[in-house]
Structure formats: structure tokens, C-alpha cells
Amino acid sequence: VAARLPARVLGAFATAAALGALVTVLVGGVPAEVDVSPRFVSRSLVPHHLMFAAMAWASAWVVLDLIDHLRVAARAEPVAEPSGAPDRRVAITVVAVVAVGALAASAALLWG
């Protein structure tokens, strides 16, 4: 059924599912340890399923949106990739920012 839909509709579904996951988490909140129950655990899977659907729809949207360009590129002559590496300072900065962000996210999960 979804294959017959326009690519923009798939993108809209993906956006709606991602927003639905966010709203579900914000509305549900995080309970205290004593309030965690099988019902809470099964209800907390809803955001995971919504994000999975969002990623699947977004992936389909991207492929359908790019399919014409991909067909042309497949028939074209190969193009040599630029051999120049990124500026070392830029590469170090990007790696540092990603590492600090990952550490901050981990710390927030562990001690937040």
C-alpha cells in the first residue's frame, strides 16, 4: 500500500511518527523506580516502535526521492573522487566535538 503513495506522503508519515515518539516520551515522563511495572515497560516500547516506523518511512522516502538521480548516476561514467584529505584542524575539531557530545550524553544517562 505504501509503495503507491507519493514520496512526500511517506516523508510526512516519517515526520509524524518521529514527532509522535517525542510526544509519547514527553507525556509519559520518566517514573520513579518504584513505579516501574510491566505495564510501564510495554507502554514505553511505543516510542521505539514509532521511531522504527519513522526511520523505515524516511528511508523509503529518500530512496523514492533519489531513484531517478540514482538511475542516471548508475549509467554515467565513473568520476574520480577528490583525493585531498580534509584540513587536519577541521578533522580534529569534528572528532573532538563528537567525542565530547558522546561523553556528555553518556554522563547524562548515567548520572542524570
Residues 12-65: tens digit of each pLDDT: 888 898 898 888 877 877 777 777 777 776 667 778 888 888 888 888 888 888
Provide the total of helices (H) and of strands (E) in the chain, helices listed first: 4, 0
Domains in the chain, number: 1
66 assigned to some structural domain: yes
56 assigned to some structural domain: yes
Residue 108: alpha-carbon gap to chain centroid: 20
**C-alpha closest to that of 7 among 68, 49, 52, 50:** 68
pTM: 0.51
13 assigned to some structural domain: yes
The boundaries of the domain holding residue 46 are 2-80
26 assigned to some structural domain: yes
CA distance 107 to 65: 38
